[in-house]
Amino acid sequence: MTLYLQLASHYRQAIHKGVLPPGARMPSVRGLMGLHQVSMSTALQACRWLEAKGLLEARARAGYFVRADKTWALPPVSEPALVALHDEARYVGVHQKVSSVLARAQSRGVRVNLAGAQAAPELYPLERLRQSSQRVLRQRGDCLVTPPPPGGEPGLRSALARQALEQQIQLSPEEILITHGCTEALTLALRAVTQPGDVVAVESPTYYGLLQILESLSLRALEIPTSPHTGLSLPALQEAAVLTPGLKAVAVVPHLQNPLGAVMPDAAKQALLAWCEAQDLALIEDDSYSALFDGPAPLRAIKSFDRSGRVILCSSLHKTLAPGMRLGWLSGGRWQQRLEMLKYSQSRPNESLPQLAVADYFNAGHGSRHLRGMRARLVLQREHMAEALARHLPAESRLSVPNGGFNLWLELPEGLSSMALFGAALDEGIRLAPGAMFSNSMRFDRFLRIGCGHPFDEAVRAAVQTLGRLVQSCR
Amino acid sequence: MTLYLQLASHYRQAIHKGVLPPGARMPSVRGLMGLHQVSMSTALQACRWLEAKGLLEARARAGYFVRADKTWALPPVSEPALVALHDEARYVGVHQKVSSVLARAQSRGVRVNLAGAQAAPELYPLERLRQSSQRVLRQRGDCLVTPPPPGGEPGLRSALARQALEQQIQLSPEEILITHGCTEALTLALRAVTQPGDVVAVESPTYYGLLQILESLSLRALEIPTSPHTGLSLPALQEAAVLTPGLKAVAVVPHLQNPLGAVMPDAAKQALLAWCEAQDLALIEDDSYSALFDGPAPLRAIKSFDRSGRVILCSSLHKTLAPGMRLGWLSGGRWQQRLEMLKYSQSRPNESLPQLAVADYFNAGHGSRHLRGMRARLVLQREHMAEALARHLPAESRLSVPNGGFNLWLELPEGLSSMALFGAALDEGIRLAPGAMFSNSMRFDRFLRIGCGHPFDEAVRAAVQTLGRLVQSCR
């Protein structure tokens, strides 16, 4: 993405978030040059782009101002009551619901996918990954016919340990276990710390994949109210825990939670960890998304505060680097040995080729540039989508627009069902992710997770328009 | 392998097995030409090679005869009493034993590996696999950045379905689920048909990897006496089953069983299946090795007799084609849907690149030529190893030499411990697979599984000599 678009998208976001409210004065071209260390032509291009998008208007001799009539935005999703839900911990029964949604979507011709929690292929560095893979095949092709090393390829484990340092996590390469995606990491983590029938506290709403794992392991889920901004409610968890025998672990996505996009403040992470420590619970942290956060500094994983090996950190590269390579990893603290045993007995070490290729890619220093570009494109895609939703959906709708990642979380007006809407949209060739998938209850049937991974083109815009029409007709 | 060596190895095996006993007359050169459709020079070369190896002697005007004094061979391993062991079904506790063996072997400089249950890298078609991988990267490189299709790549599933036809198994590509090696296939199969605490009947001895899976899933193993020739004893299983509540499944390797190398006769497979049907048990069939069988026709999988979907067939390509690509698959009969759910929730679909590469390899028609060559080399390696063991081990030793695969099963003289021998051999840079790993008991501590996957070179010969010395000194 060119520099002027990055700059424009920065201000576009500021306008949509109300940091620059309608009527506010945009920094001058000279001001932009100083603030962002860009050339005059870049600053001018950015302002003209924002003007062309209808967000700014030029006033003669006075500069650019935010237009009042064009800042399309829905109000934010309401905060849940952050007390326990008074649901009992329940065996999970989402598989039927989730797999019927997945199967229906797969069996139909989908023109526009608004459901995906990953980016379009063109946002990933295909050429460099292909080059790295080819180099590995040339130089170390014998990895195809020799058994892979236990635990993972040393080169990849070292690269991941170096990256973890940026989140202030101190890990030796040997403390990193390569897995088949984050899904296998989570499965192993849960197998390591629970027995069938045990209870695991999860965010509500939470990723349906986690619920499916709980279901397949005969575990019970305790759903904890979760803020779209600050994540899991510790008071609600504490209240629920008192009433719940058999609680063994808490599983959270502290950064850009799926589906909410919430980011836990550092103090909340530390408080959660301290409480898990006091209650002798395992804390399973899924950190797959934090590299997509648009903040000035990297987010600190809960694992970075962990002094006693209580956190099992699970992460992956299939959201941020290569959806087709299925590389995940975990670091299991006090359970590391048990996790290694479970990984070995469940699927043996991962094959070497993708590990060596990604290590080659990281060692060539491509990682952070790719992430910067991807984040910049995602900002834009989220903004476009948020604006389109505001244009086409009823004004009573509400929307969470997170500071990173792929997803928006849309609250539909009273009386609507996301499951009904899912079917109607599929008839129009549009795939949705109904909120009902993200809970063991039907609590979120009035919500949709909206994927923004695809460039916002005419087909996506038309799909949002169709969605608006369907919502109106379903009321 | 050249034609004359194939012919020679065929007769070498016949001599070692006693089909051509000492003193017997070798077919004439003209006879060989007619029998095997080879040229006179090939037939002559084969006879001279056998003569040079000391197996034949030429008698003037009379032709070649088997020498009496040079047919080095140990007697076969004794058949177990094929009645129940009167062990109870027990929770498995092999992990400590197995992982300490694996860890000790990995931490030491091993010069010669006599433990492996796979072939040396040079027995696999590296160049063709590399070419196929490179072609896929060129033509379908976007598989690196797009999520892989559920269930596996259609091209690979079709190729595997066609191969299954050779074993008289009728499967549609959709009935084949691609997994991370046979290990994940077995894990999923056991998860699909059992709950923790249930009992699974296994061969005794059996592959330690299966025991580790049982242990990690909190299942109990019921070990059933197993013949080195004809495999699992159905009468013993029937007797044990009467005394064992909670039996849910039988897990067998009917072809070239690991570690014994046994091959179940078709009638025994059918009888086992019928009994599982009558008892309402799942039958889990691990068929990873059958492509390495040296018979005139492919072996028939138990699955080929299955009319009611009772057999979960698990297999893999990492023994026969590509140890580094970790491709396995299963076909789950009546449990297919549950297996698909478990696979999806445990690790999501396998990455595409290795699947597409192997499909490309198969579609180019390389599969069967590679297997013919590999089998011919393994015959020779097993024969060499069997002869060397006979030369260097005490005469009271016994040896199973199967008709295919990587392994010999060696019974040491009374009083010896394979675990003790393992440590002593490791001190000499030689890795062994102690028999004690292959059971939840110490029943097989007097046995070794001897890997013949490596070309029989001077280092291997010297290692066998050292082994002989260690056995003598440990008595």
DSSP character at residue A220: E
- State residue A125's pLDDT score: 98
Per residue in B408-418, pLDDT (tens digit) is: 999 999 999 99
Residue B117 has pLDDT above 90, yes or no: no
Q: Any idea which residue has 């998008």 for tokens? A: A53
- Measured between CA atoms, the residue of chain B closest to residue A183 is B347
Q: Are residues A324 and B124, on separate chains, in Cβ contact within 8 Å?
A: no
Q: Are residues B323 and A348, on separate chains, in Cβ contact within 8 Å?
A: no
- State residue A161's pLDDT score: 96
Q: Are residues B346 and A126, on separate chains, in Cβ contact within 8 Å?
A: no
Q: Are residues B345 and A216, on separate chains, in Cβ contact within 8 Å?
A: yes
Better-predicted residue by pLDDT, A68 or B209: B209
- DSSP per position, B230-261: TEE-HHHHHHHHHT-TTEEEEEE--BS-TTT-
CA–CA gap between residue B353 and residue B360 (Å, rounded): 11
Mean pLDDT lowest for which of A102-116, A423-437, B155-169? A102-116
Mean pLDDT confidence for A221-245: 95
- Measured between CA atoms, the residue of chain A closest to residue B357 is A144
Q: Are residues A95 and B341, on separate chains, in Cβ contact within 8 Å?
A: yes
Structure tokens of B436?
């004690």
Better-predicted residue by pLDDT, A160 or B387: A160
Assign A181 a pLDDT band (cuts: 50, 70, 90). very high
Per residue in A420-468, pLDDT (tens digit) is: 999 999 999 999 999 999 999 999 999 999 999 999 999 999 999 999 9
CA–CA gap between residue A395 and residue A468 (Å, rounded): 11
- State residue B365's pLDDT score: 92
- Report yes or no: B380 and B5 within 8 Å, Cβ to Cβ: yes
The CATH number of the domain covering residues in A97-123+369-474: 3.90.1150.10
Residue B176 has pLDDT above 70, yes or no: yes
B113 to chain A, closest Cα gap in Å: 14
Q: Are residues A345 and B141, on separate chains, in Cβ contact within 8 Å?
A: no
- State residue A450's pLDDT score: 98
- Measured between CA atoms, the residue of chain B closest to residue A146 is B324
- Measured between CA atoms, the residue of chain A closest to residue B138 is A130
Closest partner residue to B130 (CB to CB) among A137, A218, A354 is A137
- State residue B1's pLDDT score: 61
DSSP character at residue A280: T
Closest partner residue to A126 (CB to CB) among B102, B141, B184 is B141
Residues in chain A within 8 Å Cβ distance of B341:
95, 99, 212, 216
Q: Are residues A324 and B106, on separate chains, in Cβ contact within 8 Å?
A: no
- State residue A21's pLDDT score: 84
- Report yes or no: A6 and A377 within 8 Å, Cβ to Cβ: no
The CATH number of the domain covering residues in B126-367: 3.40.640.10
Q: Does CATH place domain B101-123+369-474 in 3.90.1150.10?
A: yes
Structure tokens of B291?
């492509």
CA–CA gap between residue A14 and residue A64 (Å, rounded): 14
A132 to chain B, closest Cα gap in Å: 11
- State residue B69's pLDDT score: 62
Closest partner residue to B323 (CB to CB) among A134, A147, A347 is A147
Q: Are residues A218 and B195, on separate chains, in Cβ contact within 8 Å?
A: yes
**Selection from A185, A248, A180, A241 nearest residue A213 by Cα:** A185
Residues in chain A within 8 Å Cβ distance of B184:
346-348
Mean pLDDT confidence for B462-467: 97
B472 to chain A, closest Cα gap in Å: 33
Closest partner residue to B147 (CB to CB) among A125, A196, A324 is A324
Per residue in B433-461, pLDDT (tens digit) is: 999 999 999 999 999 999 999 999 999 99
Closest partner residue to A213 (CB to CB) among B121, B179, B345 is B345
Q: Are residues B347 and A218, on separate chains, in Cβ contact within 8 Å?
A: no
Residues in chain B within 8 Å Cβ distance of A350:
180, 326
Domain A127-367 in the same topology as domain A3-66? no
A319 to chain B, closest Cα gap in Å: 10
Positive or negative: CA dihedral B270, B265, B166, B355: positive
Residues in chain B within 8 Å Cβ distance of A144:
124, 126, 129-130, 133, 322, 324-325
Q: Is the ipTM above a cut-off of 0.95?
A: no
CA–CA gap between residue A422 and residue A288 (Å, rounded): 27
Q: Are residues A145 and B121, on separate chains, in Cβ contact within 8 Å?
A: yes
DSSP character at residue B73: -
- State residue A69's pLDDT score: 62
The CATH number of the domain covering residues in B3-66: 1.10.10.10
- State residue A1's pLDDT score: 60
CA–CA gap between residue B355 and residue B473 (Å, rounded): 49
- Report yes or no: A328 and B151 within 8 Å, Cβ to Cβ: no
- State residue B475's pLDDT score: 79
How many cross-chain Cβ pairs, A to B, lie less than 8 Å apart?
Answer: 174
Residue A45 has pLDDT above 60, yes or no: yes
Residue B14 has pLDDT above 90, yes or no: no
Q: Are residues A351 and B95, on separate chains, in Cβ contact within 8 Å?
A: no
- What average pLDDT is seen over chain A? 93
**Selection from A358, A333, A344, A327 nearest residue A150 by Cα:** A344
| A127-367 topology per CATH | Aspartate Aminotransferase; domain 2 (3.40.640)
Per residue in B259-299, pLDDT (tens digit) is: 999 999 999 999 999 999 999 999 999 999 999 998 778 89
Q: Are residues B147 and A212, on separate chains, in Cβ contact within 8 Å?
A: no
Mean pLDDT lowest for which of B54-63, B76-85, B149-158? B76-85
Chosen from A351, A353, A437 to mutate, greatest number of chain B CBs within 10 A? A351
Chosen from B347, B355, B360, B374 to mutate, greatest number of chain A CBs within 10 A? B347
CA–CA gap between residue B156 and residue B173 (Å, rounded): 8
Straight-line distance from the first to the last Cα atom of chain A, in angstroms, rounded to the nearest whole number? 40
Residues in chain A within 8 Å Cβ distance of B102:
150
A215 to chain B, closest Cα gap in Å: 9
% of chain A beyond a pLDDT of 70: 99
A344 to chain B, closest Cα gap in Å: 9
- Measured between CA atoms, the residue of chain B closest to residue A326 is B351
Q: Are residues B195 and A196, on separate chains, in Cβ contact within 8 Å?
A: yes
DSSP character at residue A437: G
Instruction: Write down the domain spans for chain B.
Output: 3-66, 101-123+369-474, 126-367
- Report yes or no: A95 and B341 within 8 Å, Cβ to Cβ: yes
Residue A167 has pLDDT above 90, yes or no: no
Q: How far is CA A270 from the centre of its chain?
A: 21
Structure tokens of A316?
């992956």
- Report yes or no: B349 and B321 within 8 Å, Cβ to Cβ: no
- Measured between CA atoms, the residue of chain A closest to residue B125 is A145
**Selection from B156, B159, B179 nearest residue B313 by Cα:** B179
Q: How many helices (H) and strands (E) does chain B have?
A: 15, 17
Closest partner residue to B347 (CB to CB) among A183, A218, A351 is A183
User: Rounded to whole angstroms, what are the CA distances from A201 to A247, A281, A325, B430, B441?
Assistant: 7, 10, 30, 49, 39
